[in-house]
Structure 1
């Protein structure tokens, strides 16, 4: 049976708000948490970007739900050895209920130190080496590694969980999905795409978990909800690789001006029709996604959790 979790949007909310949303998510009946890992938001309107590892630590004290980053880029801005240390600590804080979600990243976040932004093929090669290195370090053994992209000398994680931290890999295009199937403990996606799920499984993913994310905008006025979603998350409508290659918030905003309200209305479930929300989540289940994480766009979080607790989740979990 598909499970349903809540997706904490670090781009839109500060650390205290994210922790409070996690509490409300648990009370509403969601069974796990995703949290995004960004250095910048996608737009000024979103306006937040707390350090994800500090927030995960707070989540471990605020709820009993499993937590996953969705997703961390362990290749450019943060060295994979440091990601391994962060993941190990989070796994200990959460009693083993932590999954590391990784991806090849976006220039928006990863070029802040002035690093070169490689083409997608190189980024996937870096990701594959980073995942292998993180796994080695999570064994707790002393590691020396001289690879194509990364060097580690005499590194050992002393605070390390007894069990390996699962590492799920995000993918959108065919090459990234194939990489996820080959090296991931699971697959991360933000679309109800059965073909992508099947590619992951045929590329080595087999019966491993597929974990998805979807954004909605609950509210009593459908048109107002569409306006809110368009004002805060127009970047949802950006096509192709723009989200991975545009380097600044200003560039994202410039490109997002081409995204219309009608486009967002077609892509994001807005309003308070339970049937529409159930159908959007059921599409992920029908595509073969094992765990679906829902994010509420906008400030009306408490009403969203009440709506899902009473009108949506009971119809999905029975």
Structure 2
């Protein structure tokens, strides 16, 4: 079976840069040949000092106005607490109408850091999953049907019409790191989002089988579900710089148990800064060798991930876009010719 071509994306680090900086990086990424750009939607960043948390929805509108072809998405937004699903259907319907076939809605079950600050009691994963499933199905219905009334377990709408929406519904991708949400992505979503740098067995033995099981249970084909891997990479000709660049993102190396109840960016920052640099860097491909990057990325491609969104941790994003665009991306493209 012929594999679909690779899609190469760029991660806009919303937690690290101002909205204006991110717009400039998005323009540079399009000029450098990246095909998609994804941004997280956080109310609060992972760290207080030097942290940022721009709202993803208006930012995507600004990016669409400054670019011509790049596909824009969230990785991820939580449509279940801060936002009512109908509000997300309206907002992304508008974005999709303004920028046809250039918008993706990436969603997930959320994190207490973003929701509890608003006084929202943080439920267990079972409820968060149930909320996500109902929210996604309601959004899909609001885009599909002219007038919707829904009395669900968590959400209610009465005779709602989304008036401004594209002819073709905006694709919905579900982000997950566990089997239940991954299986849901296979059953009902247009794409699946996960992140690199965890134990290889998680992907090979848990997530990919769950995704394929969901696709089968949904009566769908493999080609119906995009597989997106957010690749965490630190590439520079200076090895010390490539290693130290990961420091800002130390919170990603905290275990779920270490951060699950942390609701203050200052506390998250303190915990992350206590980690040794070797543990901080463990979530990233850190190397000065472009061929090594390609070799390690190949492991994810072999698992079926064809949409690779590259997240670089350094403060000089323009440098990363140039270096990766010139030295690594062409080598990845060459894999498709083998």
1:145 Cα deviation after fit: 1.1
What CA RMSD, in Å, does the superposition of the two structures yield over aligned residues? 1.8
Measured in 1, the distance between the counterparts of 2:228 and 2:322 equals: 24
Q: Unaligned 5+ residue runs, structure 1?
A: none
The answer to whether structure 1 residue 239 and structure 2 residue 244 are counterparts is no
Measured in 2, the distance between the counterparts of 1:27 and 1:194 equals: 34
- The answer to whether the Cα contact below 8 Å between 1:139 and 1:160 also exists between their aligned partners in 2 is no
Q: What does the per-residue CA deviation read over 1:247-301, in whole Å, with 9 as the maximum and x for residues that have no partner?
A: 2213322432453211133321235321232233322212211201001212211
Determine the structure 1 residue equivalent to 2:212: 201
1:182 Cα deviation after fit: 2.5
- The answer to whether the Cα contact below 8 Å between 1:7 and 1:33 also exists between their aligned partners in 2 is yes
- The answer to whether the Cα contact below 8 Å between 1:3 and 1:291 also exists between their aligned partners in 2 is yes
**What is the TM-score when the length of structure 1 is the normalising length?**
0.94
2:28 to 24, 28, 43: 24
Determine the structure 2 residue equivalent to 1:146: 151
Change (3 A) 1:85 1:244: farther
- The answer to whether the Cα contact below 8 Å between 1:36 and 1:72 also exists between their aligned partners in 2 is yes
Secondary structure of the residue aligned to 2:328 is helix
- The answer to whether the Cα contact below 8 Å between 2:250 and 2:275 also exists between their aligned partners in 1 is yes
Secondary structure of the residue aligned to 2:193 is strand
Determine the structure 2 residue equivalent to 1:15: 19
1:4 Cα deviation after fit: 1.2
Q: Which runs of 4+ in 1 moved over 6 A?
A: none
Determine the structure 2 residue equivalent to 1:168: 173
Measured in 2, the distance between the counterparts of 1:271 and 1:304 equals: 13
Measured in 2, the distance between the counterparts of 1:57 and 1:104 equals: 24
Secondary structure of the residue aligned to 1:111 is helix
2:264 to 234, 245, 248: 248
Secondary structure of the residue aligned to 2:319 is helix
Q: Which moved more, 1:171-180 or 1:207-216?
A: 171-180
**What is the TM-score when the length of structure 2 is the normalising length?**
0.88
The answer to whether structure 1 residue 128 and structure 2 residue 144 are counterparts is no
Mapping 1:284-303, distance limit 5 Å: 284-303=300-319
Aligned length: 317
Measured in 1, the distance between the counterparts of 2:57 and 2:31 equals: 23
Measured in 1, the distance between the counterparts of 2:269 and 2:325 equals: 34
Q: Unaligned 5+ residue runs, structure 2?
A: none
Q: What does the per-residue CA deviation read over 1:93-143, in whole Å, with 9 as the maximum and x for residues that have no partner?
A: 222221111000001111232111110010000000000111111125121
Secondary structure of the residue aligned to 1:217 is strand
1:242 Cα deviation after fit: 4.6
Change (3 A) 1:243 1:185: farther
